[in-house]
Chain A
């Protein structure tokens, strides 16, 4: 089985305007940089993007916002982006804010084949408006539905032609559950290694969830908050 494609442009074939995409990453950590650049080149628009954050003005999903490719963002925190704010206030962009754990779990539910889950976050707040509430063991929970997405785009550290993936450090974040949730899942990796090189014990995402994989290039891996101490 060989799921390898040549590059990001080939990997995003079939992504059309109006589709719903999941994009992995937390802040700028573990984002699919190559595929975002390819989506900007392709110029698809009216996209609904499910991603924890919306990038910064000149990087990550911010690059797609600059080109007005995003119709709706589904995120937990969108703080670091002036263009995002401008489009939101002018009504060009819709945003649905979801508690971070609920966002992760709605992706997870999708990848586990569960249509919905009952979750605690947001009970008694405006997040609960319009949602079914059910009491279990004396506590109220909200019914939250699994996300439906056309494509999931994730970034991993290492991967092989079978689609097996290993993530690095906290760049794992939303990538594994989004990889599991895509109808079609695209993985870009820093190192595409020969099949057999990744130890089966160490694989985070089994290749069954991944449809296309490619060796990414020119990773910038920007740091949002560079904090250090002196030696």
Chain B
């Protein structure tokens, strides 16, 4: 069975290491916060100006002045810090954020990513995505392996306008976990019940299967 969105988030959460400063994008990446492993302390960065993002507020305690980058009401935690947008992207640019998790429309086997614009459709903007992918030390993409038409989103070359070049380090899809290497996508794990043949059939970019490839464990 291919993974659902929660399971993709749960798998990515295993990549978090103690002491990491982490920026989670909108969509599946946001869900990663629900699965931070016990004993692992991370600080979540919200690029609109907060380190130490806490959970959603209790009903009735929402504060219009306290939101995340998805414009959702949130809370702070002990040790949180506020700052302005220039400093926020300054810390991102200077490589202080250890891990960025974001969604994508397409990823190429050299690490290029496209996630902000579809020609012919209304363009909403790149927000902070281009800054994040250009600078983060470690970028994990969370996405479905194929688009709604069933076409591979893991490509030899992105067909959509790029958000960043050669920046993605790892991709976690509903089918498996893939490192970006000089040989292309390297399949490290497959989702329970998913076959290597299915992964091969649905991956358009260069694909190598790790010798020690294994089934994902939750």
Interface of A toward B, CB cutoff 8 Å: 26-30, 52, 75-79, 85, 88-89, 97, 99-105, 107-108, 119-127, 157, 167-177, 204, 221-231
The complex places the Cα of A177 from the Cα of B85 at a distance, in Å, of 8
The verdict on B173 contacting chain A, using a C-beta distance below 8 Å, is: no
Chain A nearest CB, measured from B161 CB (Å): 5
Cross-chain contact A169 with B161 (CB below 8 angstroms): no
Interface size class of B (residues with CB under 8 A): 35 or more
Bitwise, B155-185 to A at CB < 8 A (1) or not (0) is 0000001111100000000000000000000
Provide the main secondary structure of the chain B interface.
loop
The complex places the Cα of A104 from the Cα of B123 at a distance, in Å, of 20
The complex places the Cα of A104 from the Cα of B76 at a distance, in Å, of 23
The verdict on B193 contacting chain A, using a C-beta distance below 8 Å, is: no
Cross-chain contact B93 with A119 (CB below 8 angstroms): yes
Cross-chain contact A227 with B73 (CB below 8 angstroms): yes
Cross-chain contact A126 with B161 (CB below 8 angstroms): yes
Instruction: Give the A-B contact count at a CB cut-off of 8 A.
Output: 181
Interface of B toward A, CB cutoff 8 Å: 46-50, 55-68, 70-74, 76, 82-86, 88-90, 92-93, 112, 122-131, 134-135, 161-165
Cross-chain contact B127 with A228 (CB below 8 angstroms): no
Which residue of B has the minimal Cβ distance to A107?
A: B86
The complex places the Cα of A76 from the Cα of B88 at a distance, in Å, of 15
- Selected contact of B84 from candidates A89, A173, A221, CB within 8 Å: A173
10 A-B pairs with CB atoms under 8 Å apart are: A97-B126, A99-B130, A120-B135, A125-B165, A127-B126, A170-B68, A173-B48, A225-B71, A227-B56, A230-B58
Chain A nearest CB, measured from B94 CB (Å): 10
- Selected contact of A225 from candidates B48, B67, B162, CB within 8 Å: B67
Chain A nearest CB, measured from B179 CB (Å): 21
Contact of A170 with B86 at beta-carbon distance under 8 Å, contacts A79-B124, A120-B135 already known: no
Which residue of A has the minimal Cβ distance to B50?
A: A170
- Selected contact of B134 from candidates A28, A107, A121, A167, CB within 8 Å: A121
Cross-chain contact A221 with B48 (CB below 8 angstroms): no
Cross-chain contact A104 with B89 (CB below 8 angstroms): yes
The complex places the Cα of A141 from the Cα of B71 at a distance, in Å, of 30
Cross-chain contact A228 with B62 (CB below 8 angstroms): yes
- Selected contact of A125 from candidates B48, B82, B128, B162, CB within 8 Å: B162
